[in-house]
Amino acid sequence: MTAPFLAARALDLAVGRRLLCGQLELELRAGECWAILGGNGVGKSTLLHTLAGLRPAQGGRVLLRGEDIAGLKRRAVARRLGLLPQDSADPFPSNVLETALIGRHPYLGRWDGETEADRTLARDALAAMDLAGFETRRIDTLSGGERRRLAMATLLTQDPPLMLLDEPTNHLDLHQQITLLQRLRALADGGRGVLMSLHDVNLAARFCDHVLLLFGKGEWQGGITSSLLTPELLTRLYGHPIEALHGTDGRTAFVAH
């Protein structure tokens, strides 16, 4: 069996003296879509940054295709995984197409410019995020939702086999949330790997085949979505009563009392 896209081995993660994850074991393989669920401040963003190699763990290892991420150059890491942060900073003025093309930087030499193939890839990514025709718009004229979709288009332009996404539905309306998650699900079905933090349990249940539950104080559980998303575990996860409602179409919705 080939090595998983991403693996955490006995990973310990802490902020100060507060343990977020203890001895975390995780394997994400091609074709899988994972959700990270947990309350505010439990460490979802910190974990994603650690798995992307941007923050050191307190113990254990993170492996990309069987190689320790700590020993890989950042360009090599960027060709294997892409990270969508929770919020995007825009320190320099640019237009939408120029911003999307940032996703091609891991593949360019120091003095290389983008090719027409790169531009085509960026335009296709913008179209996929309903931003066709926005290419020359300045990014400081975009709404919060449009800026979020541009960040996603930049990640699509990067075209990594593994995508780590921190609350990808931030600032998006209901239609755009579903459209984005359908695309991420399709990318996983096409052989990519997807790991994302979400606040909406029902979106995780609908689009993700695996979940990682972070309870705090180092406790976690990971596995098949249908096995772990139960009212009992979710009630403990969020510290609030959760009930499951079963629809006639076979879907289950989780609601808070």
pLDDT tens, position by position, 193-251: 999 999 999 999 999 999 999 999 999 999 999 999 999 999 999 999 999 998 877 78
Q: Torsions phi, psi of 28, nearest 5?
A: -115, 120
pLDDT at 89: 72
> Cα(78)–Cα(233) distance, rounded to whole angstroms?
35
Q: Hey, what long-range contacts does 227-232 have (CB within 8 A, 24 or more apart)?
A: 229/201, 229/204, 229/205, 229/254
pLDDT digit string, tens, across residues 90-103: 767 899 999 999 99
The residues facing 21 across adjacent strands are: 13, 218
pLDDT surpassing 80 at residue 11:
yes
- Global model pTM greater than 0.85: yes
pLDDT (average), residues 94-114: 91
Average pLDDT value for residue range 58-76: 96
The answer, yes or no, to whether residue 107 has pLDDT greater than 90, is yes
127-148 confidence digits (pLDDT tens): 999 999 999 999 999 999 999 9
Stretch (H or E) spanning 203? helix 201-207
Q: What is the CATH number of domain 6-256?
A: 3.40.50.300
| pLDDT, tens only, 144-164 | 999 999 999 999 999 999 999
What is the dihedral sign for C-alpha 19, 26, 37, 181?
Answer: positive
Domain segments of the chain as ranges: 6-256
